[in-house]
Amino acid sequence: MNWLSVAEIAKLTRIPAPTARRYASLFKDFLGGRKMGRVTKYPEESLTVFERISRLYGEGRVTAEIEDHLRAEFPRTIDVDNASHTLVQNNGFGELAEVFNGVITKVASCMEVIADQKATIERQQDDIQKLKTAFVMLARSQKKMKELPSADIIPEEIILQTQALEQKDAELEQKDAEIEEMALKLTFDTSDIKAKLQILESELVRLRKDRREMEKYLQEKIDRLKTAAS
């Protein structure tokens, strides 16, 4: 393997030497440097990492954002007993990942329930609108019936039809009340699901905080290993 000093890397990548040294200090975990005498040298493959860091800074990224990009694109390495080992970041995170997957599954399930209830409410509202239209038509019919001659000359068939319409009107009013009550209950259920979803989101925030703390703990442990190995 060909090992390069920071000065050589700066020349090959056309990154100013002071800037390259700053990159080496800030992102050493992604560069695989090795102490050779008094000089720290880096594998030739690290040229790609130096160039990537330079491009990200050129895009206006801050250091924390660049670390996230590098973490996703390159392995983190440590130098222990002059051997470069890839740090398997999944150690210690298996349980945390399982919790995240469980929370995401619950959130997806809640969203499906909300979608189903929303569709049900929309159907009920459509039924209510149809009933209201029927009420308007019934009122118009009753108005026309009142404009007919007095009851003593109205045919019995029309009287029976009017009575049937009045009974239907009462049934529709009762149905309207039942549907409105059902829609109100579904609205309460949706509010309850939203509250549970907010709790799940809070739990996600807490889990992210735990993950950052665990990463910090692992980083400190890595630094102690480096100190012990040097």
Place of tokens 């703390």: 213
Q: How confident is the model at residue 74 (pLDDT cuts 50, 70, 90)?
A: confident
Residues 68 and 46: their CA atoms lie apart, in Å, by 17
Fold of 94-218: Helix Hairpins (1.10.287)
Is a pLDDT exceeding 70 seen at residue 125? yes
With a threshold of 0.85, does the pTM exceed it? no
CA gyration radius, the chain: 36
Out of 3.40.50.300, 3.90.550.10, 1.10.1660.10, 1.10.10.10, the CATH code matching 3-87 is 1.10.1660.10
**Distance from chain centroid for Cα 94:** 20
Q: How confident is the model at residue 22 (pLDDT cuts 50, 70, 90)?
A: very high
Q: How confident is the model at residue 191 (pLDDT cuts 50, 70, 90)?
A: confident
What tokens appear for 195 in the block?
Answer: 């509250």
Q: How confident is the model at residue 23 (pLDDT cuts 50, 70, 90)?
A: very high
What are the tens digits of pLDDT across the range 218-227? 888 888 888 8
Predicted local distance difference test score (pLDDT) of residue 59: 93
As a whole number, the mean pLDDT across the chain is 77
Predicted local distance difference test score (pLDDT) of residue 41: 93
Q: What is the 3-state secondary structure (H, E, C) of the chain?
A: CCEECHHHHHHHHCCCHHHHHHHHHHCHHHCCCEEECCEEEEECCHHHHHHHHHHHHHCCCCHHHHHHHHHHHCCCEEEECCEEEECCCCCCCHHHHHHHHHHHHHHHHHHHHHHHHHHHHHHHHHHHHHHHHHHHHHHHHHHHHHCCCCCCCCCHHHHHHHHHHHHHHHHHHHHHHHHHHHHHHHHHHHHHHHHHHHHHHHHHHHHHHHHHHHHHHHHHHHHHHHHHHC
- Provide, rounded to the nearest whole percent, the portion of the chain with pLDDT above 90: 28
Same fold flag, 3-87 and 94-218: no
Predicted local distance difference test score (pLDDT) of residue 215: 87
Q: Which residues of 136-154 are buried (b: 16+ CB within 10 A; e: fewer)?
A: eeeeeeeeeeeeeeeeeee
Residues 9 and 3: their CA atoms lie apart, in Å, by 10
Instruction: Show me where the domains of the chain are located.
Output: 3-87, 94-218
Q: How confident is the model at residue 148 (pLDDT cuts 50, 70, 90)?
A: low
Predicted local distance difference test score (pLDDT) of residue 79: 47
Q: Bigger pLDDT: 2 or 177?
A: 2
- Provide, rounded to the nearest whole percent, the portion of the chain with pLDDT above 70: 72
Predicted local distance difference test score (pLDDT) of residue 138: 72
| Phi and psi at residue 181, to the nearest 5° | -65, -40
